[in-house]
Amino acid sequence: MNEFGNGTAQCIEKSCSKNLHKSIKLSKFVKRATAELIKTYVRTSSLAPLTNTHVDTFSPTGHIQPQAAQGNFAEQFCTMSMDSLPSSTLWGSSPAERLQSAYIRLTELLPHVTMVLQQQSDLNPYLGSLLSDLARLVIHGRHLALRLSCILQKLQPNVALPEPAVGPTALLPPQNIFQQKVYGCAVLTRVQKLTLLTASELKSLRGQCTDKT
């Protein structure tokens, strides 16, 4: 059994429409909670907007390079590309296929959230509220992943879902303290965007995911 539990056994007694309704609510909740968490993370990690300074950060290929820090930190660093970090974009030609890609993306990102929690526990062990919020995000993310798997088992009973990753799927480059902070904000930003897209795809399934499914 993986960390998300035995999805098949837990989904037998649940209707597709009920799972869909609760999944939409949960994805919206996680999106809102992550948005607030990003604000807390930036503030408590001393990542306030910076100007006229230079810091080392990641290039789009995942390497370290000098970067001028200008404007809002979240816009500049939290949305930057990292090869070692899964994208939040979805793929697929049908709502069910895109929902499956959302499930895959979520299960790829959750180990990174766990990594951020571990890093912040070392960097800021006194920030109990931040650490608790990160831990809750992991729990809610796993719950959402399980609900998505329940829906997919109803919509695509003959399509096997991939096993969730137990750790980051790409090797992280060496990180100094500031780079760990940037990495954490980038992870949370991707989770926020992914849950927004997931909620949209779930809504599009209202006509397909019924109690007769």
Within a domain: 210: no
58: which strand partners? 64
Residue 81 DSSP symbol: -
Give the number of domains in the chain: 1
Within a domain: 55: no
pLDDT, tens digit, 9 for 90 and up, residues 42-59:
888 766 544 334 444 444
User: Which of residues 178 and 115 earns the better pLDDT score?
Assistant: 115
Angle between the N-to-C axes of helices 177-203 and 16-44, in degrees from 0 to 180, rounded to the nearest 10: 150
pLDDT, tens digit, 9 for 90 and up, residues 9-45:
466 546 888 889 999 999 999 999 999 999 999 888 7
Question: 78-108 b/e with 16+ CB inside 10 Å = b?
Answer: bebebebbbebebeeeebbbbbbbbbbbbbb
Within a domain: 137: yes
Within a domain: 85: yes
Q: What is the CA radius of gyration of the chain?
A: 18
Give the ranges where 77-125 is alpha helix by DSSP (H). Answer: 95-123
Within a domain: 212: no
Within a domain: 195: yes
Nearest partner of 31 among 43, 23, 21, judged by Cα: 23
Average pLDDT, the chain: 80
Within a domain: 23: yes
SS3 of 6-67: CHHHHHCCCCHHHHHHHHHHHHHHHHHHHHHHHHHHHHHCCCCCCCCEEEEEECCCCCEEEE
pLDDT, tens digit, 9 for 90 and up, residues 108-167:
999 999 999 999 999 888 888 999 999 999 999 999 999 999 999 888 888 777 776 666
User: Which of residues 189 and 127 earns the better pLDDT score?
Assistant: 189
Within a domain: 3: no
Q: Supply the range of the domain harboring residue 106.
A: 14-50+60-203
Q: What is the CATH number of the domain that holds 139?
A: 1.20.1250.10
Residue 51: the pLDDT is 35
- State the DSSP H helix or E strand holding residue 201, giving kind and residue range, or none if neither: helix 177-203
